[in-house]
Amino acid sequence: MFGLVEPEGLKTLEAMGFPRDAAKAALTAHNGDVAAAAQQLSQPSVEDKCRSIASRLAKADAAAAAEVAELLTNVAANPRDQRHTIILLGGTAPLQSALRAGQNAGVELLIEAGYRRHDASTLSLTRADPARLYAAKSALDAARTSSPGRQGRNKALQAQASREARAAAAKSFASVQEPRGGCVLTFADGSGAKFATRRFDGDDTLDRVVRFLATCEVGCPPDGDGWRVVAETTPPSFWCDGWVLSDKTTRDEQIFTVKDLPRTLQSLQLWPSATLVVESADDDVVLTKPQRVRPPSPTKGHRLGPKPKPSDLFKRVTARHDPRDLSGADKPRGRVAVSADKVPGLGRLLAMGFPEAKARDALRRANGDVNAAVAALL
């Protein structure tokens, strides 16, 4: 048939912006009549009609949309079931009421799905068209999912689950005592304003830090913003998808993820001190207002601020304690134990402020390597 169509007609339809394949089909259906083919191509497709009608029905009545969706599902599963091939439009049954919702949007959708009007009060399905049924059902499913009512309910449920998760995290941390020593963590927001400072044990995990943040009234995302239970870890942990948690103490920024929850603070290089920044995943949200925070007094043997490098410690010790006197003979200086002369490198570690027992143990484990011993002690 298409071989009889004049090429000019096809070129005309293509010039009007219609796809070539659709133009060929329309010209074939109308025996080369360009005007009739253009009129057909200008009409909205079945899919477009179904989306428009389904959107109107879902916005008018969510329960009615669910009732019509159930009918379409049953018809697609068993198109020969006589309970679904004849639909009465009168009455007050749930289906009849649903079909009249949205100014008869349900009736219009069934007609697009393949039903025909038998009379003013009856629809009949003589032969089911799977393609039309699928178009109507998929359009209605999409409209129900994206309807404002459904979105609002889903958002409310997510917010409730988030509040419950944060409450559980805060409750689990309520009885945790702050250690006298250990790792000192300072928490700040994206602007640099500090809102909390607390000590943790070096073997505490990042999950414990997250539980502490759940107790903070400022500085963290709201209750309904992304808090959840992470069941993949053993035992289950807590996390918040509404923030970006990072360590900006060192030159290379470290951003933490769910996978870091079971790791210890020492393995995350947060010992002996660090500043964690809590920023909202939404750049327009400010988690806290700037406020002054008094840090806890440092305990003996621990320093506040970023961790010094071993090379920096060596330079400081060398500057303060020159191992040679004016005569050029070796002589220990500073508060160094007499027995330190017998262990190579021990005097340098003691001069840095490390306890003698720990320094000896670190040198023994490092086979006398002072650099490795310092790294282990830090």
The rounded average pLDDT for each run of 10 residues, N- to C-terminus, in the chain (378 residues) is 58 81 80 82 79 88 89 87 86 89 90 88 87 86 73 74 87 89 88 90 91 83 75 81 84 85 90 88 48 49 55 59 46 46 74 81 83 80
Do 168 and 194 fall within a single domain? yes
Do 97 and 129 fall within a single domain? yes
Do 172 and 268 fall within a single domain? yes
Instruction: Enter the DSSP assignment of 202.
Output: T
Do 142 and 77 fall within a single domain? yes
Do 264 and 320 fall within a single domain? no
CA angle centred on 313, ends 317 and 193, rounded to 5° = 130
Do 177 and 247 fall within a single domain? yes
Asked if the structure places residue 286 within a domain, the reply is no
Q: Output the CA torsion sign for 197, 203, 206, 209.
A: negative
Q: 126: which residues sit within 8 A by CB, 6+ positions away?
A: 85, 116
pLDDT the model gives residue 150 = 59
Do 184 and 79 fall within a single domain? no
Residue 1: what residue type?
Answer: M
DSSP labels for 334-364?
Answer: SS--GGGGGSTTHHHHHHTT--HHHHHHHHH
H/E stretch holding 276: strand 273-280
CATH code at position 68: 1.20.58.2190
Asked if the structure places residue 293 within a domain, the reply is no
Q: 213: which residues sit within 8 A by CB, 6+ positions away?
A: 187, 196, 219, 220, 240, 278
Q: Report CA Rg, the chain.
A: 37
Do 169 and 187 fall within a single domain? yes
User: What is the C-alpha to C-alpha distance for residues 378 and 370, in angstroms, rounded to an integer?
Assistant: 12
Tell me which of 280, 297, 332 is where a domain ends.
280
Considering the entire predicted model, what is its pTM? 0.42
Asked if the structure places residue 261 within a domain, the reply is yes
CATH code at position 221: 3.10.20.90
Asked if the structure places residue 228 within a domain, the reply is yes
Asked if the structure places residue 272 within a domain, the reply is yes
Do 184 and 258 fall within a single domain? yes
Do 181 and 139 fall within a single domain? no
Asked if the structure places residue 295 within a domain, the reply is no
Asked if the structure places residue 358 within a domain, the reply is yes
Do 194 and 260 fall within a single domain? yes
Which residues span the domain enclosing 141?
46-146
Domain count across the chain? 4
Tell me which of 280, 295, 330 is where a domain ends.
280
Do 25 and 53 fall within a single domain? no
Tell me which of 87, 114, 146 is where a domain ends.
146
User: What is the C-alpha to C-alpha distance for residues 100 and 113, in angstroms, rounded to an integer?
Assistant: 16
Q: Output the CA torsion sign for 278, 283, 287, 290.
A: positive
Asked if the structure places residue 288 within a domain, the reply is no
